[in-house]
Amino acid sequence: MVRIGNGENPLPLTEWSLQGAEFNNCSCNWGCPCQFNSLPSNGDCRAHMFIQIDEGRFGDIPLDGLRFGGLFSWPGPIHLGNGTVRRIIDERASPKQRDALEAILSGQQSDPGSLILQVFAATFTTVLPTLFEPIDLEIDVDERRARVIVPGVIASTAEPIRNPVTGDAHRVQVTLPAGFEFTEAEFASGKTTANGPIELDFNGSHAHLARIHWTTHGVVRPR
């Protein structure tokens, strides 16, 4: 599932598309400097990303209803590389669906620089074996709430950022008209615990929730 050829005439990529929702929690302060081309809050970067597919297809392989995601860590800013990734794919996926989601997650079937998964893939030096596990995932973008549990691997939640004086929910939206992950996202406060080769331990750190429409060629923008 890679471009094969002599370099001048590579075979075309598989056409794929998925629509759904994303839940991301990282080690940075609320807002995440990455969204503004700045350096991470604490020097390094640790994060998770999980996707609920509402409608999806990889070539002629349907992906509707499946879930996938990953745990990530970098010793410094993401663009400097040396990252580690643990990919996680819904255990309900058939062998063909697993191959399709693996190809999407690894960035092998995306135009270079067009999508976050392909960009991230270029920064990893350690790729841990993919896990095929049950993914309990709920995402409510409008309410800024989410939860994900992969038993024995990760437990994470997101809720609205709260005003420190009144306790009222505080709403923040960010729009990236040319972003390679989303066009618009709701920012939230996340809490995550993950064990294993990639340890995550966040409480009150940056999270974002977004509706996504990704394809072989990048992000599809709402009209």
Please list the alpha-helical segments (H only) found in 4-156: 95-105, 116-121
- Going by pLDDT thresholds of 50, 70 and 90, the confidence category of residue 4 is very low
pTM of the model: 0.93
Domain positions in the chain: 18-215
Cα separation, 158 vs 147, whole angstroms: 6
Structure letter (DSSP) for residue 11: P
Q: What is the DSSP letter of 102?
A: H
| Tens of pLDDT, residues 128-186 | 999 999 999 999 999 999 999 999 999 999 999 999 999 999 999 999 999 999 999 99
- Strand pairing of 83-90 and 67-74? antiparallel
By C-alpha distance, which of 6, 219, 3 is closest to 108?
Answer: 3
CA gap 179, 78 in Å, rounded: 16
Q: Locate 189 and state its tokens.
A: 């406060």
Residue 87 — φ and ψ, nearest 5°? -90, 145
DSSP secondary structure letter of residue 95: H
Q: For the chain, give the longest Cα–Cα distance.
A: 63
70-109 pLDDT, tens digit per residue, is 999 999 999 998 999 999 999 999 999 999 999 999 999 9
Neighbouring C-alpha atoms within 13 Å toward the C-beta of 26: 26
Say what the pLDDT of residue 11 is: 66
Burial class (CB in 10 A: 0-12, 13-18, 19+), 178: exposed
